[in-house]
Structure 1
Amino acid sequence: MIQTPIYRRSGLVLGRILKRYKRFLVDVELEDGSLVTAHSTNTGTMATCWEPGDPVLLEPSPNPKRKLPFTWLACRRGGVWIGVETGIPNKVVAEAARRDCLPGLPGLREVRTEVPYGSERSRIDVWARDPEGRGVYIEVKNATLRLGDQICFPDAVTERGLKHLRELQAMVREGHRAALVFFIHRGDGLSFDAARRIDPAYAAELDRAAGAGVEILPLRVCMEALEGEGWGLEWSLEGLLPWVRAR
């Protein structure tokens, strides 16, 4: 059952994407025919997320002096909205933890974000205490790659992701809890797995991390676009997708 929305963005602008380039830039045609260049926070390949002409939602910047006046939040492909802004998953997971409605991790308290930790100078996305008082280190990954009926991560080789897996395992060895939340930011997948052919090293390390006690949580997310006086987005959490490991 879908939970009450726990995060919202409003005042968004609809357009259609023309191209993406230099990793951080997208050209978009707005409904009135004007052309704008928007900022993309997503540094991956974003494969299976968009094609030229797809509808997109942009968020205007409140800073009039910003060079790029919009940030790209979502794209519609194959009948579903796909969340491409990489900062939103952290905010949704943190808010769900504060409201004690984060699937797989009940009873969290003292929730904090961007806490320094580990020997490799990392910052954990979300930190909290569980009902027994143990520290819970929660790393969040935006998963948008669709391969068949599976949503997968990563969409490109990720050395940074490997570092995070090592750090999470170190926290477990020190007696803490560690969890990796794969934020399934599209609604057309039936299961989750690592993108084993794209990054076999990450897939192997993810398997090791799970065996070492890191909790793997593929979080099924409902992101709904709302049309009214302007556009909005709402995020709800539906539960966990099954982790089905490819052979």
Structure 2
Amino acid sequence: MQWSIQQLAKAAGTTSRTLRHYGERGLLVPAGTGPGGMRMYDEQALPRLLRILMLRQYGVGLDAIAQILAEHTSDAEALRGHLRDLHGQRDRLSAQISSLEGTITAIEEGKPLMAEEVFADFDHTQYREEVEQRWGTQAYADGDRWWRSLSYEQKKQFLQEHRDIATDYAAQAEAGVPADSEQTQDIARRHLAWLSNSTTPTRDYVMGLGELYVADPRFGSNYHGHAEYVRDAMKVYAERNL
């Protein structure tokens, strides 16, 4: 069975223009053409497009997606990996919902808040493997010790500051402001100041972290689909200032 580009775009909730762009980038090649040169797609395109759309949802850029697709992992195996990720996200969301419900109830009933319960949904240890591989076990141990030393208010302020930075990056990206602009570089400056709370950001560290945002959906998802933009802004800032 085959689908026209319009049919596939409608089924996937995207646009024909997007599918053509994926084709131009070599990510989703049509099986052939129909009447009038219309692009046609076969069943093999379905799981491949699903992989692309899921990776985009995680904030992975097209260049990184091309590298992932080139690894010759079977579609079924790759989708099983996505399924495991979704199960993990579901479990984390369930924990977040439970934690938030408990926090709201405690506030409404005037009960004392316990920091361990309020932050039960924020699992910084999920990044341990990546941090240790890139920067060593001591770097992770130092960061872990620092996080555990914070008070409830300090943790709350730290997380909110990062949310504000991510939101500001997204606004700049969606407005088409270049990553090397003065406004975006000011956000990058705030970003590095935020990072400086727990580490000493060197040029290599900042550039490596930016690449990690693009390569790992768990990191990239924090930036509202603009991980590549954040990486580029961090790279410019590091080259100019570190």
TM-score in terms of structure 1 length: 0.25
| More strand by percentage | 1
Q: Which has the larger radius of gyration?
A: 2
